[in-house]
Structure 1
Amino acid sequence: MEPRFLLLSDVAAELNVSDSQVYHMVRSGELPAIKIGGRGQWRVERTRLEEYIQHKYAETAEWVRGNPLTDREPE
């Protein structure tokens, strides 16, 4: 069974980005996370990460629709 909560380093590995990029996403509020424990370690719930990924797919699809390729020759 997969863990419910992920370390920021686990999230970075899932998204293939740096740990610092994930930290910025969390601190900016872009990616929901919680702080737990006496040292305030960040954790991202797996379901929140999946929701974030789906949101990014939708955001990217909208951007692609609004920015079609114009320099390609018709096939």
Structure 2
Amino acid sequence: MSEPRFLLLSDVAAELNVSDSQVYHMVRSGELPAIKIGGRGQWRVERAKLEEYIAGKYAETAAWVRENPLAEREAD
């Protein structure tokens, strides 16, 4: 069975191991692309957009690590 194209915010939260409210904030702030569908405007995140978001976070973190190297402990 193939994975669904669109995910509920709760599914995204489970994938990222964060709270539903954190994902809602990410969507509402524009950090994580999503769409509103249906009469009640339910949020959905496309799996491909989630994967792009995760890849971007890996790149962002790698850049941060390069710019902030772990200082070696000085010999006592």
TM-score range, shorter chain: over 0.9
Aligned residue number for residue 47 of structure 1? 48
**What are the ranges of 5 or more consecutive residues in structure 1 without an aligned counterpart?**
none
Amino acid in structure 2 at the alignment position of 1:20:
S
**What are the ranges of 5 or more consecutive residues in structure 2 without an aligned counterpart?**
none
Q: What is the Cα-based RMSD across aligned positions, in Å?
A: 1.3
TM-score, reference length from structure 2: 0.93
Aligned residue number for residue 16 of structure 1? 17
Report the secondary structure of 2:56's partner residue: helix
Shift of 1:72: 3.0
Count of paired positions: 74
Query: Is 1:6 matched up with 2:7?
Result: yes
Any idea what the Cα deviations from partners look like across 1:32-63, whole Å, max 9, x if unmatched?
00000000000000000000000000000000
Shift of 1:73: 5.0
Q: C-alpha separation between the residues in 2 aligned to 1:72 and 1:63?
A: 20
TM-score, reference length from structure 1: 0.94
Amino acid in structure 2 at the alignment position of 1:22:
V
- Indicate the percent of aligned positions where both proteins have the same amino acid: 86
Equivalence map 1:32-71=2 (5 Å): 32-71=33-72
Q: C-alpha separation between the residues in 1 aligned to 2:7 and 2:67?
A: 34
Q: C-alpha separation between the residues in 2 aligned to 1:70 and 1:37?
A: 52
Q: C-alpha separation between the residues in 1 aligned to 2:23 and 2:35?
A: 13
Q: C-alpha separation between the residues in 2 aligned to 1:37 and 1:56?
A: 30
